[in-house]
């Protein structure tokens, strides 16, 4: 599905782009995303969403190519993104909405056992209150927060990749309180299941990045943000994620509840949605990422029994395209200019 625009709409979009990517204080151009053309995303109804990236059920959803640009608004900036396009499909059932996210990546990066290694990752973002007029697309803004769900490549491995994976010939005399015998190399999980968890201080202190139980259950983290430098883990961890790398391509499913704390994803109502991708082999992490502008997401009305049609057509297709075009126009015209934060950008 594509959105057709007339000359007036294009002029308004061009004017908005110039305002959005030029810092009025320095008059220096904010390179990147103004060239993005966003196509509306449609989620189709199914009996039960799948977390299998290879499921044939995804063929019922239309694929949309979402352009990505390097995050160069706030430090740490990225001048060239490793991933320039993300392919998206969406489906929903009574309780959840799921996204199949695909992108090209020449290297699978899932081990972060050294300080020089960074994970492959992908995230989706939407306004915390579900507002049609969204905040700034990079991390939201003060008093205008966003929810971020991030799938992490190392969590897909349940955190088992450690320093001994990077250095297989390393030798240790003994790790006290790990539950392992002298000469054996323990994993983080050993401290929790066989030894003394308090000696794995990050996990014992509640840091989700060290929580092997959560990582083995979901592979994804729910976060919240109100602008650059404000990213933090959510007290709610309700994501379901699953992915694999094959033939230089990542295929990842992110599933989130339709019912969020402040709103519910309802059929027929448009919602702003944005995405980000990190290429670990290019040392992308935190604010160094490829991101998208807000894209309009609509849950198609209907029942799962009607999914034999590959795409909307006729009047139905025209209505869906019209809703997407209207939302796209409102997003571009009413979003505020970027907020700056010397602390840099968070993970999504």
Residue 59 domain-assigned (yes or no): yes
Residue keyed to tokens 């993104």: 81
Residue 172 domain-assigned (yes or no): yes
Asked if 162 contacts 186 with a C-beta cutoff of 8 angstroms, the reply is: no
**Residue 9 to residues 13, 18, 93, 331, 334, Cα–Cα distance (Å):** 6, 14, 35, 13, 14
Asked if 134 and 172 sit in the same domain, the reply is no
Asked if 255 and 281 sit in the same domain, the reply is yes
Which residues does 163 contact at the CB level (< 8 Å), separation at least 6? 113, 114, 170
Residue 65 domain-assigned (yes or no): yes
Asked if 145 and 175 sit in the same domain, the reply is no
| pLDDT for 159 | 57
Asked if 127 and 187 sit in the same domain, the reply is no
Six-digit token pair at 165? Answer: 């994976």
Asked if 97 and 195 sit in the same domain, the reply is no
Residue ranges for the chain with pLDDT beneath 50: 1-35, 306-325, 329, 331-347
Residue 177 domain-assigned (yes or no): yes
Number of domains in the chain: 2
| pLDDT for 226 | 96
Q: Give tens-digit pLDDT for 280-327.
A: 999 999 999 999 999 999 999 887 754 433 333 333 444 444 444 455
Q: Which CATH number does the domain housing residue 292 bear?
A: 2.60.40.1190
Six-digit token pair at 198? Answer: 């308090």
| pLDDT for 240 | 94
Six-digit token pair at 67? Answer: 């352009």
| pLDDT for 306 | 45
Work out whether the CA dihedral 230, 235, 240, 244 comes out positive or negative: positive
Q: CA 98, CA 184: separation in Å to the nearest integer?
A: 41
Q: Give tens-digit pLDDT for 135-170.
A: 999 899 999 999 999 999 988 876 566 777 777 888
Asked if 314 and 275 sit in the same domain, the reply is yes
Asked if 193 and 245 sit in the same domain, the reply is no
pTM above 0.85, yes or no: no
Residue 342 domain-assigned (yes or no): no
Looking at the DSSP assignment, which residues form a beta bridge with residue 69?
291
Six-digit token pair at 268? Answer: 């027929």
Asked if 186 and 59 sit in the same domain, the reply is no
Asked if 269 and 308 sit in the same domain, the reply is yes
| pLDDT for 14 | 36
Residue 48 domain-assigned (yes or no): yes
Asked if 225 and 298 sit in the same domain, the reply is yes
| pLDDT for 63 | 97
Asked if 124 and 140 sit in the same domain, the reply is yes
| pLDDT for 305 | 53
Q: CA 155, CA 211: separation in Å to the nearest integer?
A: 10
Considering only CA atoms, give the Rg of the chain.
21
**Residue 237 to residues 57, 211, 218, 312, 334, Cα–Cα distance (Å):** 26, 12, 9, 34, 31
Asked if 194 and 95 sit in the same domain, the reply is no
DSSP, residue by residue, 210-238? G-HHHHHHHSEEEEEESSTT--EE-S---
Domain range enclosing 197: 159-209
Six-digit token pair at 299? Answer: 């849950």
Asked if 290 contacts 78 with a C-beta cutoff of 8 angstroms, the reply is: yes
């Amino acid at each position: 599905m594509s959105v057709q625009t007339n000359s007036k709409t294009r002029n308004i979009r061009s004017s908005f782009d110039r305002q959005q990517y030029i810092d009025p204080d320095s008059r220096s151009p904010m390179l990147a995303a103004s060239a993005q053309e966003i196509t509306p995303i449609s989620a189709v109804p199914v009996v039960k969403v799948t977390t299998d990236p290879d499921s044939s059920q995804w063929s019922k959803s239309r694929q949309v190519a979402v352009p990505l640009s390097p995050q160069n608004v706030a430090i740490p900036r990225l001048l060239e993104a490793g991933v320039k396009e993300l392919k998206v499909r969406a489906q929903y059932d009574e309780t959840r909405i799921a996204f199949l996210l695909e992108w090209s990546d020449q290297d699978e990066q899932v081990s972060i056992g050294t300080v020089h290694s960074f994970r492959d990752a992908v995230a989706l973002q939407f306004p915390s209150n579900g507002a049609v007029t969204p905040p700034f697309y990079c991390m939201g803004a003060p008093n205008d927060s966003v929810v971020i769900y991030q799938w992490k490549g190392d969590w897909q491995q349940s955190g088992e990749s450690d320093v001994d994976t990077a250095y297989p010939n390393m030798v240790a005399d003994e790790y006290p309180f790990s539950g392992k015998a002298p000469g054996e190399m323990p994993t983080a999980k050993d401290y929790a299941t066989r030894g003394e968890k308090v000696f794995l201080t990050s996990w014992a202190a509640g840091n989700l990045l060290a929580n092997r139980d959560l990582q083995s259950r979901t592979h994804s983290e729910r976060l919240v943000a109100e602008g650059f430098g404000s990213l933090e883990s959510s007290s709610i961890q309700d994501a379901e994620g699953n992915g694999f790398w094959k033939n230089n391509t990542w295929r990842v499913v992110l599933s989130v509840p339709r019912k969020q704390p402040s709103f519910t994803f309802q059929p027929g109502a448009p919602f702003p949605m944005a995405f980000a991708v990190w290429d670990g082999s290019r040392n992308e992490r935190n604010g160094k990422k490829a991101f998208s502008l807000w894209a309009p997401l609509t849950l198609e009305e209907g029942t799962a029994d009607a999914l034999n049609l590959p795409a909307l057509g006729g009047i139905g297709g025209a209505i869906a395209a019209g809703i997407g075009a209207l939302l796209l126009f409102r997003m571009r015209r009413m979003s505020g200019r970027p907020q700056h934060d010397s602390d840099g950008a968070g993970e999504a």
